[in-house]
Structure 1
């Protein structure tokens, strides 16, 4: 196994300066390709492409006479580096991976609009990519990124606990969810104290999901704040009632996302909301006390809206972008075309990627190995981000969560908390 080259050295540089070139040739190694494509991403994006004979881009590299050099960082450092590179006079990076909650108008302006490329050299069956993901990569009507990975939220439940309490099917409406969560707040036959539902208090995902179940939202793509205040009031009232009854644990204010996973795996909670991609982890026999019994459905909408409008689950996604100051953008687009193809999307999905194409979930081989494929596809079809990106988004989310916690914990009347959300956040929104 060869040692990893320093990030500033391409394979071409290495082969061009290595001592003993004859020995390299004797070992059967070929010269580097004529071109190099530099990609700035998270390690997971490189991993799902595969390597060696399983490299999904092996033929593409050959046809385009191109080496691909990956530079990887964790999510936040990656975004910081990407934006810094895009702000320079020029950059060596050809393609970057961007999270959909980051491209403000100012940031979007640093990346190449892709509509002309899409028209001239179309991506295979582009309309097969979930529309909510495309919307998340569209700023001021301009497409700046092609979706490549997503995490869509679903409602997970412990089937064994439901059966223990005589519940034969997961909830179909939000009201049924609240009712079942109340019934599932009990001490199980194993002696474990069970909470009906566990949710992290530091993520906007959950109050947004509850508000959407009543036909409302926190912030729309057009920056409409609380488009239906009554729906948000209903959402927070429900969450408060669940907390008051014990269906949400007393530790709600300090519960984190990873706690949700642990509580479901250990049978300490019957319901939670997590990305569908967590299914394998939740059912891992080495970690879970209930392997094969942790299942998922779409988050349910309220009874009054059931069958009238679709539930819009929250989704977070990644897109591939081209810095406006980069070189050889045609080669960058060819890379994006290939990674976005049906074949590559399916291959990456088989390697653990959240597939952005609805058709991928219908592939028999993929679906047979993914028990949540059908329900995830249904949720993805109508999913959209928790809120659009804007310069003060982080501050706005902090205020939103502060007011939500005050309402849920009973420290402020729900109506007053909703009014505060509106008055405190409105000045932070784009003009």
Structure 2
């Protein structure tokens, strides 16, 4: 009898354990997973910062968890478009840059107009670039308007009382700030990434030039582009750009500024909180931003147009559970989430966010950013060969900056090589 009871008890226990396991697996299966493909900055702004984890209330309400896949800008776009071109994809939401949204790319994503009618979402700024062929295919979530960041402590150490008012002053200060600081840290005057068109375009615009205008004219003012590349080449020759310029990437710029290894950098205003993070920065509260200065040679009526990039959330047409995807987008695009993401370091796509005291209080450069955004333009318009054009442009820019071509030769090559890539 004792042996029989023991076996029964064991069997009962095993059955109970099995039932518990099944129930546990069932409960676990009920948790939905939303696969998001984005840049690390999008994940960070939604999960980390003074506003805390912004997306957690949505996860709790929907019994969902987000699986993040993060890549740098260009690899991210390539991966997203490949996934959206397949017969099906596991990704539910992808983040896309405004200058990549051509009609061909737009056809890979779910039109959102019907979803907006069923579950209205407040209209936002920067939506025009995400409306293709009369159809809305992306909801703006972030703008990255470029500003000039400077380390106030390093400027003061070098005897510079104020940041530059003109591009010429910027060059002069950058050269003076190429030194060894009191802490023994070697400092370069300026840190710039070499893999994005944003940076040479900013220097060309300082002289009234551009890369590709709205009419798809390549380098509409060759002389202005030559002047911009000449400035970059001069900075490199003087050692005011790092020797590693050709391999410098966006995140390197942030690291160098945080570590006090660079005095100036061109970065989105939204990077302010990250650059001044007390746990990461050697000069928290001392890394500030101004509008990128134009040249003193800019004619009357001309103004410096900083570069702005806009990111939007889109749903691949070949993905599953579009209802959950749209729920995520609606939440992230709400006024409350936009404000909280801005407090965490995001560039807000709602103009009303700039008037919120909780945002202005945590982001001292708010007024400067709003002023820059008002006159900002994308680095180039969207067209099918945009990625190839940017890559070609950067090849020639690097040759000029490194002194392997004259700026005049590089600009001529840019025009010759990129003109055939323009839309008919």
Give TM-score scaled by structure 2 length: 0.78
Alignment partners' CA distance in 2, 1:156 and 1:387? 23
SS in 1 for 2:100: coil
Residues 70 and 248 of structure 1: CA distance in aligned 2, closer, same or farther (over 3 Å): closer
Residues 307 and 50 of structure 1: CA distance in aligned 2, closer, same or farther (over 3 Å): farther
Residues 170 and 118 of structure 1: CA distance in aligned 2, closer, same or farther (over 3 Å): farther
Aligned-residue offset at 1:425: 1.4
Alignment partners' CA distance in 1, 2:247 and 2:109? 38
Alignment partners' CA distance in 2, 1:306 and 1:296? 25
Residues 37 and 99 of structure 1: CA distance in aligned 2, closer, same or farther (over 3 Å): farther
Aligned-residue offset at 1:235: 0.7
Say whether residues 1:248 and 2:244 are aligned partners. no
Residue in structure 1 matched with residue 418 of structure 2 by the alignment: 425
Alignment partners' CA distance in 2, 1:253 and 1:82? 26
Native 8 Å contact 1:136 1:385 kept in 2: no
Aligned-residue offset at 1:381: 3.5
Which among 52, 65, 68 is matched to residue 72 of structure 1? 68
Residues 67 and 39 of structure 1: CA distance in aligned 2, closer, same or farther (over 3 Å): farther
Aligned-residue offset at 1:141: 5.8
SS in 1 for 2:364: coil
Say whether residues 1:103 and 2:101 are aligned partners. yes
Residue in structure 2 matched with residue 280 of structure 1 by the alignment: 273
Native 8 Å contact 1:218 1:387 kept in 2: yes
Match runs of 1:5-84 below 5 Å = 19-20=19-20, 38=34, 40-42=36-38, 45=42, 48-49=45-46, 58=57, 67-68=63-64, 70-75=66-71, 79=77, 82-84=80-82
Residue in structure 2 matched with residue 380 of structure 1 by the alignment: 373
Which among 271, 282, 293 is matched to residue 289 of structure 1? 282
Residues 169 and 229 of structure 1: CA distance in aligned 2, closer, same or farther (over 3 Å): same
**Structure 1 regions of 5+ residues with no counterpart?**
1-17
Deviations 1:10-30 (A, max 9, x none): xxxxxxxx9439977xxxx89
Aligned-residue offset at 1:213: 1.8
Alignment partners' CA distance in 1, 2:60 and 2:276? 37
Residues 305 and 286 of structure 1: CA distance in aligned 2, closer, same or farther (over 3 Å): same
Aligned-residue offset at 1:157: 0.7
Residue in structure 1 matched with residue 313 of structure 2 by the alignment: 320
Task: Decide which moves more: 273-282 or 93-102.
Answer: 93-102
Alignment partners' CA distance in 1, 2:392 and 2:249? 18
Which among 163, 171, 183 is matched to residue 176 of structure 2? 183
Native 8 Å contact 2:208 2:303 kept in 1: no
Residues 230 and 365 of structure 1: CA distance in aligned 2, closer, same or farther (over 3 Å): same
Deviations 1:379-413 (A, max 9, x none): 33333433334443333223212211222233222
SS in 2 for 1:291: coil
Say whether residues 1:112 and 2:110 are aligned partners. yes
Match runs of 1:63-212 below 5 Å = 67-68=63-64, 70-75=66-71, 79=77, 82-84=80-82, 86-88=84-86, 95-114=93-112, 122-124=120-122, 126-127=123-124, 129=125, 131=126, 134-139=127-132, 142-212=135-205
